[in-house]
């Protein structure tokens, strides 16, 4: 538990959040997330590896394009950048432990403010890394993944590793080196690349082929450095179709898989799927999970949800049980995540201004995931879902269908089969019945 007695307490009036079950009327308790409950051979804690995102919970203070902060953070008070960083870390670890979250994630600039001086930034990040290391040791909280913010600084307006100016690319590399060093020093289990500006605004000024080659070369260079330093974790690419760039190179899972395969990165890199990015790409979350699982790259999840009435990354906390139960069917059948966890890349709304709101948001997200996983496990075990899906493809399990799968039939053979068998019978896809199953088990 956090040694919060010496340091200032930021969430003093909030009790430790624990599992109390569905009968509880305590708003600071889990109704579904019992971290020790075993489902499909693993505890819920092991299945999810829930993480808190530093940037949304301790930096983004409710700002939007039309107005400044509404969340007044008491840890953001000191004029000294390191003092401020330490206070923020105190608040973060107090929150994370009170929430029973086993992990956290951060960008370099989330944990300490950067200047334009690379050496100075590296020193700051190292100092904060030492502090975070101590906090981790005191609390048992672990780093799920680290990353570098290569999209906020004005020098990155045309991208970092895909910038047309090599000089800008080198600044991105300096930042990634320091962020990798910090991730390794903190025992981080993975490292994420989200390419917010690795794309373009107009093709009129863009050499797309060259930019993508630079992107791949950059990833190889970063990976080689980290491996040389002994990093054993997984690298994740986080796809998103657009925003802030008009066209982003990491559009969706299938696009990223093609890119990783083309540039020989598949062994080291897997995918971090964000719910709201999936929906912006015109997919469902479950589609993206399935696409990753089918390619052996289902690595990690950024948990949040979008707003169906608009078209940007609203990063709201997850609360859609139907969506998540369908997703957990894929998750369970794929055998879970490889190297990653479930990071709440989600923010409370601008008008959710009390410290309690941050707790309610995470409690809701964790409970929704837990409830969905429990329901999905029951569906897989007790309903007709699996059997129906298998039987739908039974015509490929034997006879000519099996020969076709084995590459043994020519186009003429297929024609002959069609003539011999006559018109196929109509078979229902049973969508409404399958949708009902989801509701029965929730
Ligand atoms: C933004 C991304 C970002 C990444 C980390 O849309 O989701 O938060 O997860 O750089
Ligand atoms: Ni994300
Ligand atoms: Ni996002």
Dist. CA 238 → ligand 2 center (Å): 7
Q: What is the pLDDT of residue 248?
A: 98
DSSP β-bridge partners for residue 19: 30
**Alpha helices (H) along 263-311:** 275-280, 285-294
* Overall fold of domain 18-382: TIM Barrel (3.20.20)
Q: Judging by beta carbons within 10 Å of its beta carbon (0-12, 13-18, 19+), is residue 272 exposed, middle or buried?
A: buried
Q: What is the pLDDT of residue 6?
A: 60
Residue ranges of the chain assigned to CATH 3.20.20.150:
18-382
DSSP β-bridge partners for residue 248: 199
Q: Beta-carbon neighbour count of residue 27 at 10 Å?
A: 10
Which tokens go with 301? 């999840």
Residue 294 falls in the annotated catalytic set: no
CA atoms lying within 13 Å on the CB side of residue 300: 33
**Cα dist. 328→20, 115, 143, 323, 331 in Å?**
23, 42, 24, 9, 5
Q: Beta-carbon neighbour count of residue 319 at 10 Å?
A: 13
In angstroms, the CA 251 to CA 239 distance is 6
Q: What is the pLDDT of residue 8?
A: 86
Which mutation among 191, 196, 235 tests ligand 1's pocket best, with the greatest number of atoms within 8 A of CB?
196
Candidate list 56, 107, 171, 283, residue with the active-site label: 107
DSSP β-bridge partners for residue 200: 247
Dist. CA 239 → ligand 3 center (Å): 9
Token look-up 């330093």 returns 229
Cβ(200)–Cβ(246) below 8 Å: yes
**Cα dist. 65→23, 68, 309, 350 in Å?**
41, 8, 18, 11
Instruction: Report whether residue 35 contacts ligand 1, using a CB cutoff of 6 Å.
Output: no
DSSP β-bridge partners for residue 29: 18
Residue 80 falls in the annotated catalytic set: no
DSSP β-bridge partners for residue 42: 39
CA atoms lying within 13 Å on the CB side of residue 244: 15
Dist. CA 194 → ligand 1 center (Å): 6
Q: E-assigned strands of 63-124? A: 103-107
In angstroms, the CA 259 to CA 249 distance is 9
Which mutation among 198, 288, 302, 344 tests ligand 1's pocket best, with the greatest number of atoms within 8 A of CB?
302
- Stretches in the chain below the pLDDT threshold 50: 1-5
Q: What is the pLDDT of residue 3?
A: 43
Pairing between strand 342-344 and 50-53?
parallel
């Amino acid at each position: 538990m956090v040694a919060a007695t010496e340091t200032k307490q930021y969430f003093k009036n909030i009790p430790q959040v624990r599992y109390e079950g569905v009968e509880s009327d305590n708003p600071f308790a889990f109704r579904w997330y019992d971290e020790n409950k075993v489902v499909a051979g693993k505890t819920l804690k092991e299945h999810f590896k829930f993480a808190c995102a530093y940037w949304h919970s301790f930096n983004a203070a409710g700002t939007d394009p039309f107005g400044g902060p509404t969340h007044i953070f008491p840890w953001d008070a000191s004029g000294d950048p390191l003092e401020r960083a330490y206070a923020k870390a105190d608040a973060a670890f107090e929150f994370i432990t009170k929430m029973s979250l086993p992990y956290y994630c951060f960008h370099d600039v989330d944990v300490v403010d950067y200047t334009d001086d690379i050496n100075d930034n590296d020193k700051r990040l190292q100092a904060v890394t030492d502090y975070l290391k101590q906090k981790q040791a005191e609390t048992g909280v672990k780093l799920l993944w680290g990353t570098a913010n290569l999209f906020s600084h004005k020098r990155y307006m045309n991208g970092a590793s895909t910038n047309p100016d090599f000089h800008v690319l080198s600044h991105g590399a300096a930042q990634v080196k320091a962020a990798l060093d910090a991730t390794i020093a903190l025992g981080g289990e993975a490292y994420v690349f989200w390419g917010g500006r690795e794309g373009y605004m107009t093709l009129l000024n863009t050499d797309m082929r060259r930019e993508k080659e630079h992107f791949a070369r950059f990833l190889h260079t970063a990976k080689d450095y980290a491996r040389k330093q002994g990093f054993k974790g997984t690298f994740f690419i986080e796809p998103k179709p657009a925003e802030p760039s008009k066209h982003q190179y990491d559009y969706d899972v299938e696009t990223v898989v093609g890119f990783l395969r083309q540039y020989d990165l598949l062994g080291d890199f897997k995918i971090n799927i964000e719910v709201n990015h999936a929906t912006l790409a015109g997919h469902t979350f479950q589609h993206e999970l399935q696409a990753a699982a089918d390619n052996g790259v289902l690595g990690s999840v950024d948990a949040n949800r979008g707003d169906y009435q608009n078209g940007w990354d609203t990063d709201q906390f997850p609360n859609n049980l139907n969506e998540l139960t369908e997703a957990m069917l894929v998750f369970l059948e794929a055998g879970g995540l490889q190297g990653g966890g479930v990071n709440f890349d989600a923010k409370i709304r601008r008008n959710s201004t009390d410290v309690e709101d941050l707790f309610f948001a995470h409690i809701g997200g964790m409970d929704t995931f837990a409830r969905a996983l429990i329901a999905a496990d029951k569906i897989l075990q007790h309903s007709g879902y699996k059997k129906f899906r298998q039987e739908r493809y039974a015509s490929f399990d034997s006879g000519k269908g099996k020969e076709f799968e084995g590459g043994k039939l020519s186009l003429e053979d297929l024609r002959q089969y069609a003539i011999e068998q006559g018109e196929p019978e109509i078979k229902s896809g049973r969508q409404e019945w399958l949708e009902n199953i989801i509701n029965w088990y929730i």
